[in-house]
Amino acid sequence: MILVDEATLERLRVKYEALVELRQEREESEARGVLSLEGESKVWRRQRMRRVAREFPGSLRELEAFDVSELRGRLDRLNDRIASGGGPNSDGTPDWIEVIVGFHSLLRCILGVKSEVRSEKGLTPSRWVRVLETLCAESGSLTKGDLIWLRQVDVSTINRYLDPPGRHLLNAIWEELSCQFGVSVGELKSIVFEGD
């Protein structure tokens, strides 16, 4: 279940503020001819990038795909959505906010499961119950929507994510989102990476 509530939107705002800052710093450095950071600056930047990637897995691709003006535009549209009460599109079609929330949520959940089970490729129903209990008890990085999805998903679906076809987890995530939104994977990627 993809939950786009006020808390989720506020959390997403923090992500885009961080991406804008990181991208602006990069563009300013490149404009000065500095193509690679060193020392403390490099360490500090990597820590900030890891923090964003841990909370919003897959988000660093946006940092590469968009320049600072595009990221600012996303932040502005997100702020407009928050100011208007945060509801979905009036026509019911997904926009980049719903898709990116779903992407981060699914990937965060699956990475949490993978971290808990390590190299296990197939869980029994009883093992899944124990893993779920642990994830819910230690849910610091999981959102309300993440926890709802984890509590509703069955062990066979989890097992497909633990051993995805061709070992391509991201492809499995996009396929799941395609089913949830009723839109092709190509259309979803276009919504996220080419604009609204």
Amino acid at residue number 132 = L
Q: Residue 87: what pLDDT?
A: 67
Are the C-beta atoms of 125 and 38 separated by less than 8 Å?
no
Q: Residue 34: what pLDDT?
A: 65
Q: Residue 124: what pLDDT?
A: 94
Are the C-beta atoms of 106 and 173 separated by less than 8 Å?
yes
Q: Residue 43: what pLDDT?
A: 84
DSSP-assigned letters across all residues of the chain: -----HHHHHHHHHHHHHHHHHHHHHHHHHHTT--S--HHHHHHHHHHHHHHHHHSTTTHHHHHHS-HHHHHHHHHHHHHHHHTT-PPPTT----HHHHHHHHHHHHHHHHHHHHHHTT-----HHHHHHHHHHHHHT-TT--HHHHHHHHH--HHHHHHHHS-GGG-HHHHHHHHHHHHHTS-HHHHHHHHHS--
Q: Residue 40: what pLDDT?
A: 82
pLDDT tens, N- to C-terminus, the chain (196 residues): 577 888 889 999 999 999 999 999 888 888 877 667 677 877 888 899 999 999 999 999 999 899 999 999 999 999 999 998 866 666 667 889 999 999 999 999 999 999 999 888 889 999 999 999 999 888 777 888 899 999 999 999 999 999 988 889 999 999 999 999 999 999 999 988 875 5
Q: Residue 104: what pLDDT?
A: 94
- List the domain boundaries for the chain: 6-83, 96-193
Contacts of 112 (CB under 8 A, 6+ apart): 135, 141, 142, 146
Q: Residue 37: what pLDDT?
A: 66
Q: Residue 145: what pLDDT?
A: 87
